[in-house]
Amino acid sequence: MSEAVSYEVVSDEAGDIAVISIDNPPVNAASHAVRQGLADATSKFAEGSANVAVLVGKGRTFIAGADIREFGKPMQAPGLGDVIDAIENLDKPVVCAIHGTALGGGLETALSCHYRVAVKSARVGLPEVLLGLLPGAGGTQRLPRLTGIETAAEIITSGRHVPAPEALKLGIIDAVDDGDDPLTAGLTFARRVLSENMPVRRTRELEEKVLAARGNQALFDELRAGVKRKAKGQLSPQLCLEAVIASAELPFAEGLKRERELFMELMASPQREALIHVFFADRQVGKVPELETGTPRPLDRAAVIGGGTMGSGITVSMLFAGMPVTMIERDEESAACGRQNVERILDDGVRRGKFDQAHRDRLANDLYSVSSDISALADADIVIEAAFENMEVKKDLFQQIDQHAKNGAVLASNTSYLNINEIASVTGRPQDVLGLHFFSPAHVMRLLEIVVADRTDPDVAATGFALAKKLKKVGVRAGVCDGFIGNRILERYLSQAAYMVEDGTSPYDIDKAVLSFGYPMGPNQMGDLAGLDIGYANRKRKREEGWEGRYAADYMDRLAELGRHGQKTGRGFYIYEDGSRVGKPDPEVLEIISQVRSEKGITPVALDEETIMRRYMAAMINEGARIVEEGIALRPLDVDITMLYGYGFPRWRGGPLKYADMIGLDKVLADIREFEKDDPVFWKPAQLLVDLVERGENFDSLNKSANR
């Protein structure tokens, strides 16, 4: 028996009960040792005296799935499918006792047992789709036999975790135990099996629900259309559904074969590689040096300065986390506006059914208060300034905050571009200052850039990460520079998009290319949503500050000057009729752009979709590389996570630097060198990119060496 699985027999009044325990911390993943141990335990039980077995996990969870770290390496026998078959084929019943989570291969193992009991807090699911895979050990064939194909399709294509009480209703498990000890729950159920002489019940033999759907093409087509709509270019949801449909259309053994073929297809796909990169990057991004040396400070009360869009969104995200927040505005009128903004978001939550009126009132009245007196921040553990994006305004506010904040309070600025060192320098406590860059709408968007300035104390940085966790956000560590990680990269690819338009490509073709790459919207649609007047104001500021480089936004200035500010004015790059959020292309915009081109003497050359994306991505990757090279991002994976959670980069492409690795850094560099011939200022290759190509390494080698 392997060390990861133990086998013992408990003699009970009801008879002998075998207990098979899995012990493979942290999450009992079904790695080789577990599979071997289960295979051995199954044989032992088959030959032994016990009449029933309980399969249970030790530690915090039942099996959380196959061991993802083994993917891509040669598979060591026995495979999980073989172990699962052996359990199901037994002639004596096995009861699976679930706590924590039974996910992926974990639930598949549970489905091969003859009965399933779970503690109340347990959750089950087949989340392989989120890794670009499908359940490859019989899950797509067994789950529909318990729930019917529509429910199985929903669970498998979404990957959601199903809470135990719902799993009971859906027929996935047989009982929910009131206690919290899975072994006790399993033994209680096993005694029932013995006393009631409950038979071996094999999931694969339960045919009724799948036969009910056999040949129902209309249902299959409807399911296919639904999945295609949601999948947006992602392959795994579509193949998950095909495997589920096979459970209705084919006998069990053939269905399993079909599942295996589709599983192998996904295993070989770049989407699987990208999504597994994201799975590990999600878990690595929070591992930063300050969390090793620093200790988070308390986060019991917060103050937010500013009640505009950002201030109210930040306030609401803290209210959602149960934190009392005092919002501070400069006068009574602005304070009233701030309250209105917060209440509008809360009311919207009630309207959408996210919470009820009583909860809304508790957040608005008990946890939230607003004041026009800055000294009201005196008892806050953390103060977040979310005022107008202007250095002088911020410096003035930080001087005032410094006067009133209590000792040890964390002082944060929600600036999206400005220098945190400069802001910190006006206080007598620069060690307590950091940047917390939220993304709009702040109560929805999951990204939080945690900007660690030169003198930020590790405890303060650690508090930023603790806040991210509390708000259920993804904290990414960033260094100080104009735009930090995300906006600095954004500026580069938006500029590139503007250059392409000025040189002859239609803005609508750019949006189309970016959409078909997998983004939810293109850069010009995004401009319309954000407001073209905002970019216009920023460009004005930059020009006043002596901005250099090729200027390609004349046509955008022209649009803004014509009052085409985007969705809010019904016209921007697109026309929005009758308040619609879906814009239509406007020939007048193409006219304006072509006018600007001829004034500048540009002979337009329109690029095809592939070239558009090569340029767009190369701009993003080159700047990402520079950001890593300068230490603004700790690792390439921090750049990936930033672009995934804050800027709509398609998750199944892994983030820009993983994408670069997958197409090959030598190819990206060759593209940049080619573009450099026409525009050497914009396209200077990042030194890190050049070095990695020379060394035959890639961004992931840097991730790995940083995480060692």
Interface positions with ligand 3H9 (CB under 6 A): 26-27, 29, 61, 64-69, 80, 101, 103-105, 108, 127-128, 131, 133, 135-137, 139, 283
Q: Tell me how far apart the alpha carbons of residues 639 and 635 are, in angstroms, rounded to a whole number.
A: 7
Q: Tell me how far apart the alpha carbons of residues 120 and 180 are, in angstroms, rounded to a whole number.
A: 7
Question: Taking the CB of residue 347, how many other CB atoms lie within 10 A of it?
Answer: 13
Query: CA distances (Å), 420 to each of 322, 395, 431, 633, in order?
Result: 28, 10, 11, 16
Burial class (CB in 10 A: 0-12, 13-18, 19+), 213: buried
Question: Taking the CB of residue 454, how many other CB atoms lie within 10 A of it?
Answer: 11
Question: Taking the CB of residue 90, how many other CB atoms lie within 10 A of it?
Answer: 18
Q: Tell me how far apart the alpha carbons of residues 157 and 374 are, in angstroms, rounded to a whole number.
A: 50
Cβ(241)–Cβ(247) under 8 Å?
Answer: no
Q: What is the DSSP string of 638-660?
A: HHHHHHHHHS---GGGT-HHHHH
Q: What is the DSSP string of 342-401?
A: HHHHHHHHHHTTSS-HHHHHIIIIIIEEEES-GGGGTT-SEEEE---S-HHHHHHHHHHH
Closer by beta carbon to ligand 3H9, 37 or else 105: 105
Closer by beta carbon to ligand 3H9, 136 or else 507: 136
Closer by beta carbon to ligand 3H9, 105 or else 307: 105
Closer by beta carbon to ligand 3H9, 306 or else 475: 475
Q: How far is the CB of 488 from ligand 3H9 (least distance, A)?
A: 28
Q: Tell me how far apart the alpha carbons of residues 335 and 487 are, in angstroms, rounded to a whole number.
A: 29
Closer by beta carbon to ligand 3H9, 159 or else 307: 159
Q: How far is the CB of 156 from ligand 3H9 (least distance, A)?
A: 10
Closer by beta carbon to ligand 3H9, 29 or else 363: 29
630 a catalytic residue: no
Q: How far is the CB of 627 from ligand 3H9 (least distance, A)?
A: 24
Q: Tell me how far apart the alpha carbons of residues 497 and 35 are, in angstroms, rounded to a whole number.
A: 51
Q: State the Rg of the chain over Cα.
A: 29
Q: How far is the CB of 323 from ligand 3H9 (least distance, A)?
A: 22
Q: How far is the CB of 296 from ligand 3H9 (least distance, A)?
A: 18
Q: 437: which strand partners? A: 449
Cβ(295)–Cβ(459) under 8 Å?
Answer: yes
Catalytic residue of the set 108, 259, 385, 449: 108
- Cα–chain center distance at 416: 21
Token match 């690792």: residue?
A: 635
Q: Using DSSP, state whether 224 is helix, strand or coil.
A: helix
Long-range pairs of 206-214 with CB within 8 A, sequence gap ≥ 24: 206/145, 206/146, 207/145, 209/144, 209/145, 209/146, 209/147, 209/148, 209/149, 210/144, 210/145, 210/148, 210/149, 210/247, 210/248, 211/248, 212/148, 213/144, 213/148, 213/149, 213/150, 213/248, 214/248, 214/249
Q: How far is the CB of 665 from ligand 3H9 (least distance, A)?
A: 26
Six token digits for residue 21? 């325990």
Closer by beta carbon to ligand 3H9, 139 or else 624: 139
Q: How far is the CB of 99 from ligand 3H9 (least distance, A)?
A: 12
108 a catalytic residue: yes
Closer by beta carbon to ligand 3H9, 104 or else 656: 104
Catalytic residue of the set 128, 385, 389, 449: 128
Closer by beta carbon to ligand 3H9, 27 or else 246: 27
Q: How far is the CB of 26 from ligand 3H9 (least distance, A)?
A: 5
CA atoms within 13 A of residue 240's CA, in its CB half-sphere: 34
Question: In the sheet that 382-385 helps form, which strands lie side by side, from edge to edge?
Answer: 368-371, 325-328, 302-305, 382-385, 410-413, 433-438, 447-451, 474-478
Closer by beta carbon to ligand 3H9, 259 or else 457: 259
Question: Which residues fall within 8 angstroms of residue 181, CB to CB, at 6 or more apart?
Answer: 99, 119
Cis peptide before 144 (omega within 30 of 0): no
Closer by beta carbon to ligand 3H9, 65 or else 458: 65
Cβ(433)–Cβ(398) under 8 Å?
Answer: yes
Query: CA distances (Å), 701 to each of 696, 697, 705, in order?
Result: 10, 6, 6
Q: Tell me how far apart the alpha carbons of residues 163 and 154 are, in angstroms, rounded to a whole number.
A: 15
Question: Which residues fall within 8 angstroms of residue 307, CB to CB, at 6 or more apart?
Answer: 315, 327, 329, 334, 335, 337, 338, 339, 341, 342, 370
Q: How far is the CB of 126 from ligand 3H9 (least distance, A)?
A: 7
Q: How far is the CB of 316 from ligand 3H9 (least distance, A)?
A: 25
Closer by beta carbon to ligand 3H9, 65 or else 294: 65
What phi and psi values does residue 15 have, to the nearest 5 degrees? 140, 180
Looking at residue 49, the DSSP 8-state letter turns out to be S
Closer by beta carbon to ligand 3H9, 136 or else 646: 136
Cis peptide before 78 (omega within 30 of 0): yes
Cβ(459)–Cβ(297) under 8 Å?
Answer: yes
Point out the residues that are catalytic.
108, 128
